[in-house]
Amino acid sequence: MNRSSCAPRLAALTLALLCFLSPGVVESAGVFTFINQCKTTIWPAAIPGDSFGGGGFALRPGQSAVFKAPAGGWSGRIWGRTGCAFDASGNGTCATGSCGPLLKCGTSGATPVSLAEFTLGGGMDFYDVSLV
* Sheet with strand 43-47: strands edge to edge: 43-47, 74-81, 114-120, 126-131
pLDDT in tens, 62-73: 999 999 988 888
Residues in the chain: 132
Residue 29 binned pLDDT confidence (cut-offs 50, 70, 90): low
CB 114 within 8 A of CB 79: yes
> Omega into 44 within 30° of 0, i.e. cis?
no
pTM for the whole thing? 0.77
